[in-house]
Structure 1
Amino acid sequence: MTSKLQLIDCQNLAFSRDLHQDRVRRAQQLLGVNVVQRFLCFGLYLLGVNRRAIGQALDIPAETAKSIIKAMANDGLCALEDRRRSMSTFLPQSPPQPAPITLKGTDERIVVDFGVGGRRLEIPRQNVLQIRAILLSMLNSGLLSNHQVAEVIGLTPAHTATLAHRLEQEDIASLIDKRQGQKSEYRVTPEVKAELIQQFVVDVVAH
């Protein structure tokens, strides 16, 4: 298959006025008058017709024909539509971008806002291990940035990154301060609590 289109010898083509009128009418109903006009203008240009003759054939000023041709050559299909439109009527639409997840802390709690349907995750400030496990898990999943997490848990970005790596490699036991041992408030083993917290994060993100 050749990569180039063969030149069209328009002198040997037969044109039907009736077919032309019928096809243009149907195209205008489907695509709109302006889009069809731009198609015809650029098509005649590709066939070698000069801009002045194109303007006369389409009953538009030569400068308008020149502008259409320039826009089509530079912008492609986007030039077929009115630039004042906020969305295309026929080009594929980009999928909507999800709202960013925001993280903020108050004196009493940490709040993770997922930006979807008012879904928020609130964690009491005194639950230090829970806060670190959840936020560092979200950091490791790319849902929060290192800067966001570091600012809320009060650590340097470097220390936060280290804890996130340890959590991923060694599970939640790596977050417990080994100098103090396991405090009495942890009435379940670190393994059980880790599984509960991580499952909680998965449920929140999934819904």
Structure 2
Amino acid sequence: MLNYLDELKFSNTHSENRIEKAYSLLGENLVNKIIGFVFFLLGANREQIAKNIDIPLGTFLSFLTRIDKIGIFAFGDRRSSTSLQVKQSTLPKLDILLQEEENNFIIMLNDDESIRFPKRNSLQCKIILLTFLDNGLLSLKEVSQALNFSTVHTRQLCTKLHNQDAFSLIDKRKGQLIDYAYTPDIKAEMIKQFTVNVVTGGSLSSKDISKQLNDKHDLRLSDRSVRFHMNKLGLHKIAKSLSIEIENLKKTQKISDQ
């Protein structure tokens, strides 16, 4: 415990002059943070500190939390580009590496931290990779190869994302836009329901199948989109032959049972 405070003498006049000078040199916000942090180190009550330096308690507590996380940089004003300028060489450098697995992209930030996201989420992949590209954290070549686009198209998408938000990345072509909502799991359920209806003699219309899927799995699939994917998968083309195959299997099973 520090015990020299009782021996120090304070001058209100000197204090006012020095603080005013510090305000003009460093800015009132930074000086108040310094004073508040010193009082905090000396054991003062945080609520009383915030009140005396005219900072909301929540703001002061957040400031203390940021000190724990980023040290001296917490004294800077994040809203001001001129506050507490830091040389680039003093900032920790991230060695960012883009890796691919069979089903995922992985962005390695350092030895212990990474961002993993599935390749099947095409829009998510575009947003993340293009954001890293826009900030100079990944190269144009890396991102274009990962997305399987030309460098020209990748650069255009990066500009769109920067200027027009993520909505600009959604493919407006009808087929691909419809396909975006249909995951492999949904398509598998559609095929299964179609097969069940063939076996049981149920309706094979997209209207009835979409209703069955929506009721069974709490989905919101439209009749039109279900019809699109059923045609794309060629289900109606095999309906008749599938029914015949099933009947033949039933007959074969009966004969073998006799």
TM-score of the pair, normalised by structure 1:
0.41
TM-score of the pair, normalised by structure 2:
0.33
Q: Point out the structure with the larger helix share.
A: 2
By relative contact order (CA 8 Å, sep 6+), the higher-ranking structure is: 1
